[in-house]
Amino acid sequence: MLKKSSLIAWGLVLFVAWNALILFFLWTRPQYLSDHSRLTEEVIRLAQDAEVELEHQKELLHQIYRYSALWNKRKAKNLHLSVQPPTAVLLPQHNQISPDAVLPVVVIACDRSTVRRCLDKLLHYRPSKERFPIIVSQDCGHEETARVIASYGDSIMHIKQPNLSDIPVPTDHRKFQGYYKIARHYRWALSQVFRTFKYQAAIVVEDDLEVAPDFFEYFQASFPLLLADPTLWCISAWNDNGKEQMVDVAHPELLYRTDFFPGLGWLLLSDLWDELEPKWPKAFWDDWMRQPEQRQGRSCIRPEVSRTMTFGRKGVSHGQFFDQYLKFIKLNDRFVPFTQMDLSYLKKNNYEHSFLAQVYDAPQLRVEELQGNQRRELGTVRVQYTTRDSFKAFAKALGVMDDLKSGVPRAGYQGIISFLYRGRRVFLAPPPGWTGYDPSWS
């Protein structure tokens, strides 16, 4: 009986305790919910205040940016005025550019997702992100290509050409719409580089080019030449006659002057863009560059062995030259320390003294003798042409590119083309006393 009473007592205690807990919970629940509601309101208020503050800070940053741009512009203007020579005759603008200027690489891209191959090699060989920033300018609005470019993050800069509309063209040029869009893209991209970003020089490549291990070394070393010699207007990584059997792969350090604008990886100065932009063509910009009105007697530097090669069969030319020619171009695979070399021999006066003597001191040989591998003991030889037709015939027979642009042969300097034929150096050259190009030879 006592044991039963104890169990009842304990049961009452548990019952009372349980109900007390329930009552306590019920009494405190409204207060808890009220506090929780007030806490939520406080958090929302703080978040709203933070958002307002962020907007305020953003506006301050925009103001700082605007005033900074104005200050830098004024500072640059004052600096420009302070470094003018004291004489009345002003030096050309490019003489004011430092040999240590930043050289951005502008990659002209469109709808090739294989741009990854180009960018991977550029990033692999790039010695300095600061000295050689990479700017990819994309036309066409191709999403897959845009995703590939974006995947590189802040290792590159990605800009997009905003005008993707078709361009009105003459009826007989409808099939050339692509060339019009390319010219428009080049103009926009180079204007961004020189007008918006204010770079003093730029290296231009396209999205289907692969670069050599010493690509950056080559441009860094030759850049001062472009500054020092007003008879130069570009440095090119390309040899138009750069098939492997036609170049001296044992001497990749050889460099030449050429009157033919090669493109395909080239360096230009901002003052050249100042000159070209107002008259930039609607299409076929590279052939336009080769006209006398643009070239104005100036030359480019080009290598014996190309520092770029193209892997892009797809394009507006529908692989016109790729299968027959471009895929055979030899890409240099040996690093040449150009920055440790004296390249002053490429300045106009030095070059003409040595190069022309080398060409016209070489014994003359007929094409038939060369094809028959005769007179090997002569070493370097010269094959002479006198007319447009003889040039084309000899060039074709020897495997040299035989087309002419405004009378200028590919890779030619004063009409002379240097190449290897069956392992021997050959100069395909006009007679001594060259007097200039004939634009009708085209």
Considering the domain architecture, whether residues 139 and 238 belong to the same structural domain is answered as yes
Where among 346, 377, 402 does a domain terminate? 346
For the chain, residues with pLDDT lower than 70 are: 1-96, 313-320
Strand partners, 178: none
Structure tokens at 321: 């030259």
Using one digit for the tens of pLDDT, what is the confidence trace for 221-232? 999 999 999 999
Helix (H, G, I), strand (E, B) or coil at 289: helix
Output the domain CATH number for residue 366: 3.10.180.20
Q: Where are the beta strands (DSSP E) in 118-184?
A: 134-138, 157-160
Considering the domain architecture, whether residues 336 and 370 belong to the same structural domain is answered as no
Considering the domain architecture, whether residues 399 and 335 belong to the same structural domain is answered as no
pLDDT score recorded for residue 10: 53
User: What average pLDDT does the chain have?
Assistant: 84
User: Distance between CA 211 and CA 204 in Å, rounded?
Assistant: 12
Output the domain CATH number for residue 202: 3.90.550.10
Catalytic positions, please?
Answer: 286
Task: Please choose, from the candidates 325, 423, 438, 326, the residue with its C-alpha nearest in 3D space to the C-alpha of residue 385.
Answer: 438
pTM comes to: 0.78
Considering the domain architecture, whether residues 183 and 269 belong to the same structural domain is answered as yes
pLDDT score recorded for residue 322: 79
Question: In which domain, by residue range, is 417 found?
Answer: 348-429
pLDDT score recorded for residue 97: 84
pLDDT score recorded for residue 11: 53
Considering the domain architecture, whether residues 173 and 130 belong to the same structural domain is answered as yes
Q: Is 94 part of a structural domain of the chain?
A: no
Where among 327, 346, 365 does a domain terminate? 346
Say how many domains are in the chain: 2
Considering the domain architecture, whether residues 412 and 366 belong to the same structural domain is answered as yes
User: Distance between CA 226 and CA 204 in Å, rounded?
Assistant: 15
